[in-house]
A and B are shown apart, each in its own frame.
Chain A
Amino acid sequence: MTILVELKNLTKCFGNRKVLDGVTLQIQEGEILALVGPNGSGKTTLLKILAFLEKPTGGENKFQGEIVTGKNAERMRLQSAMVFQRTLLFSTTVYNNVAYGLKMRKMPKKIIEEEVKKALKLVRLEGFEKRSAKKLSGGEEQRVALARALVLKTKLLLLDEPTANLDPKNASMLEEVIATVNRELKTTIVMATHNMFQAKTLPHRVALINDGRIFEVGTAAEIFGKLSKSLASFAAVDNTFAGTAKITEAGTTIVDVGNGVQIEATLQKQGETSVFISPQDIILSKNLLKSSARNVFKGKIIQIADLGLLVKLTVDVGKPFTVQITKRSFSEMALNLNVEVFIVFKASSVQAI
């Protein structure tokens, strides 16, 4: 496999703060590589260096065998495109947004029209050309941002938490597009993600990053199999817990993750294990719900993060769980810090890592 990007001992400092510390990484042409790490681990900075938007403070960045310098970065940028975590669209039509990069490349008008149409079809936004970009839903905005990058057919595509602020339906659609683009256009994709399930299923390889250092790179099977304990203690990803599993008489598994929290799963596991529950699979309620779900915990909201259309809540039930709900639900339920709530999820939502 050809090496597209080679990073050697890369460092990046902002003033006195070291954000990247000796990063060495090779990215193969045609692969999807996931960067998994907590907030502040350096993922976004690394993506920006790969996108030639930031210059490293030290070390070497090679793209297609050529060392990236201040002088050739502008030329190199034509070979890559980055989609930011926070969706940013120009204050104009969807068409003009998607066409922007093609206009920068001085493509003929007719070709621009064709390519924009194809890109919008790929992200399932046919007919949206004349719509104002400022009047789209969150999911539509993210898809326009992706179309705007995909239309350029660059060798390298960088995605910063591409589905973080999306509901499950839009997230799934976007993941499908990412997989299609990689498969059909052979685009090399590097994506930063918090989503363990996404990191397990979508990429060819996973790189774990924390405190500005990459401490493990491998296939998803290598990373999630061998390193399950360190991955869970990574605290990189929401709702990953390490504990001791015991198979019950009923055939399910109880995983004791500490502090009185015991998670029931439909897995068959015994001994030390790590589990993950997607924030989207957890239901939040103010009152105890009677349901078939095996996992019911009472706790307090200890953190609230506004993600635009969605709100991310951290609920402490003895262990912190991340839950994602719509903004509408958040205001209708009159939720706030220190409010007591119940979190509920099915045993089948619990995944082993």
Chain B
Amino acid sequence: MNQVLDGIVKALQLIFSGDPTVYGIVYRSLLFSGIATIIAVLWGTPIAMLLGLRDFHGKSILKGLFNALIGMPTVALGLILLLILSKDGPLGFLGILYTPAAIILGEAVLVTPLVVSITTTAIEAVDPEMMNLAKTLGASESQASIAVLKEAMNGVILSDIASFNRATAELGVALLVGGNIAGLTDVLTTDISKYTQRGDFSYAIALAIILLVIVFGINLIIVSARKVKILLTLGGMPQ
């Protein structure tokens, strides 16, 4: 218990002293997760719009697949990506294994099912006549789809937050394809694991506190911001 309390005290000292090691890890975590989330949103949102707005053969299978992939164990995905990105793997030529790019790619793949599933659900919750409404007012097919997406904005934002949090909080992908190289590919989760194994609780606890603050803090900010009129109006405004 003394060791834990001692660790907490030292952790708070590290946080408030602006320790460059700690903040370097935080910066890399946020950067990699942020970029991964943006990539996932960019390629996941059109998929969600297809699933949410169109009927086609195999739609329910595809939806089921994305729903199932939400629960993909991060270490299993990390292993698969390791094999793909390794020298002998099909994408070995990219030479990105044990680099930030590998983590970003891995986390983007990890959170894409989350983006797709939640965004699809949000789109499906919009009144089905919304497309026809936009079209009868002169919108093209794509403009009408965007109008529907804007009506689903609350759900879209939720999927983005959830995806960012998952990317930030995951361990398996970052560890296996990133290699936890200090100053390059080490992130909050990999370093918490490393410092805990070493018995260096002050760093581990500091990073854990920051991770929790990020995960809960972002949620809190966005939930509060959703109540702000301007953000809601901007988010819900058609073209």
Contacts and interface: CB of A to CB of B under 8 A. Distances in A.
A280 interface: no
B138 A104 contact: yes
B20 to A, nearest CB: 45
A252 to B, nearest CB: 46
A46 B129 CA distance: 16
Given A84-B133, A104-B143, A90 B138 contact: no
A103 B130 contact: no
Contacts of B133: 84, 88
A152 B137 contact: yes
Nearest to B154: A91
Nearest to B232: A91
Interface SS, A side: mixed
Interface residues of A, number: 25
Contacts of A82: 132, 136
A81 B136 contact: yes
B127, B137, B143, B238: residue with the most chain A Cβ atoms closer than 10 Å: B137
B132 to A, nearest CB: 5
A92 B237 contact: yes
Given A84-B129, A104-B143, A90 B136 contact: no
A51 B136 contact: yes
Interface in A57-106: 74, 77-78, 80-82, 84, 86, 88, 90-93, 96, 100-101, 103-105
A96 B136 contact: no
Interface in B203-239: 232-233, 236-239
B130 A77 contact: no
A103 B140 contact: no
Given A90-B147, A91-B236, A80 B136 contact: yes
Given A74-B140, A104-B139, A96 B238 contact: yes
Contact of A93 (B147, B153, B233): B233
Contact of A105 (B135, B138, B141, B150): B138
A48 interface: yes
Contacts of A96: 237-238
A148 B233 CA distance: 19
Interface in B112-142: 127, 129-130, 132-141
A78 B136 CA distance: 8
Contacts of B107: none
Given A80-B136, A82-B136, A90-B151, A104 B233 contact: no
Given A88-B129, A92-B238, 18 more contacts: A48-B132, A51-B136, A74-B135, A77-B136, A77-B138, A78-B138, A80-B136, A84-B133, A86-B129, A88-B130, A90-B151, A90-B237, A91-B153, A91-B236, A96-B237, A100-B137, A101-B138, A152-B138
